[in-house]
Amino acid sequence: MNKDLDVTQLVSKGLAQLSSGLRTLSKAVEKLPSQETLMRLLTGGEQGEVFTCGHCEYTTTRRTDYKKHLNTLKHMRQLARKIEPGSSVWAQIKQDYSELKQEDDKYVLMAYMWLQPHHRRVGIGKQGMGKWPLRELWEVVHKCIFDGGFYMKGNKLSIYSKTMPRDKFNFDVFTQFREHAHLVIMEANPLIDIRARLFAEHSYNDPWEKYQYSVRNLPMYLKDKTPIQKRKETCSLHEYLQMCG
């Protein structure tokens, strides 16, 4: 008899707990979002949600497409164009041109740097050009991208560094130089067009003509120069790096 009572009490206690649990569960269910919303949450993305990549001006409404975008070559290239946040190399040019305060594209910044010596001097906004466009371009790339430590000798097959141990770099640096220089030219050309070219009044040697012939083909060595580049003393990368020794 006592045993039966115990069982009854246990069952009734269990039912009470179950009932309380059900009430809690029921309250929770009431608070669940609608089925439609649930489906949206499960299938990814709020309705109307937009994913934007600030580096590439890429926009999509699909999270999966956005994730794919982050692995594309285009996105990686755009990322590689961004300056290192703490780097002091860019401080001066940002100070000199107020329009560059928010600029974080290293090739735009290098284009301003490259053109600066012949821009500030004229004062009226037009863009002048100096006698050594290519040598000055190699200089900017060397300083901004490579910390300015490389040099070469007469030997075409060896490159040296004043700052890095021998096993920390190889001859790839040489071709990278040219790629970086090319990207700077792509930013400099429209900038020159906007500013308009300043021509020297009495000059037998038009520096703009020299510029034009220099940037069309970036010579790595003496032998790569076109006849007009030879006549106009265009500076090959090898010649420039020999000056750095």
- Choice from 53, 100, 164, 244 touching Zn ion (CB under 5 A): 53
- In the bound state with Zn ion, the residue whose beta carbon lies nearer, of 52 and 203, is 52
Q: Is 81 in the site for Zn ion (CB under 5 A)?
A: no
**Identity of the residue, 34 or 71, whose beta carbon is nearer to Zn ion in the bound complex:** 71
When the beta carbons of 77 and 216 are compared against Zn ion, the nearer one is: 77
Select 62 or 75, whichever has its Cβ closest to Zn ion. Answer: 75
Contact region with Zn ion (CB under 5 A), list: 40-48, 56-64, 132-140, 215-223: 56-64
182 binds Zn ion (CB under 5 A): no
Closest CB 109 distance from Zn ion, rounded Å? 20
Considering the complex, what minimum distance in angstroms separates the CB of residue 62 from Zn ion?
Answer: 15
User: Interface with Zn ion includes 40 (CB under 5 A)?
Assistant: no
Provide, rounded to whole angstroms, the least separation between the CB of residue 99 and Zn ion.
24
Q: Among residues 40, 51, 56, 176, which is the contact residue for Zn ion, using CB under 5 A?
A: 56
- Supply the minimum distance, in Å, between the C-beta of residue 59 and Zn ion: 10
Among 40, 62, 75, 126, binds Zn ion (CB under 5 A): 75
Minimal distance, residue 52 CB to Zn ion, in Å: 9
Q: Are 151 and 160 in contact (CB under 8 A)?
A: yes
CA distance 14 to 18: 6
DSSP line for the chain? -HHHHHHHHHHHHHHHHHHHHHHHHHHHHHHSPPHHHHHHHHHSS-TT--EEETTTTEEES-HHHHHHHTTSHHHHHHHHTBPPTT-STTHHHHHH-GGGTT--BHHHHHHHHHHGGGTTTT-SS-B---S-HHHHHHHHHHHHHHTT-EEE-S-TT-EEESSS-GGG--THHHHHHHHHHHHHHHHHHHHHHHH-BPPPSS-SS-HHHHHHHHHHS--SSGGG--HHHHHTT---HHHHHHHT-
- Tell me how far, at minimum, the Cβ of 75 lies from Zn ion, in Å: 4
Decide if residue 55 touches Zn ion (CB under 5 A). yes
- Phi-psi domain of 112 (left: phi exceeds 0; alpha: psi -120 through 50; beta: other): alpha
Site residues (CB under 5 A) for Zn ion, limited to 189-208: none
- How many residues line the site for Zn ion (CB under 5 A)? 4
Strand pairing category for 51-53 and 150-152: unpaired
| Smallest gap from residue 34 Cβ to Zn ion (A) | 34
Q: What is the contact surface with Zn ion in residues (CB under 5 A)?
A: 53, 55-56, 75
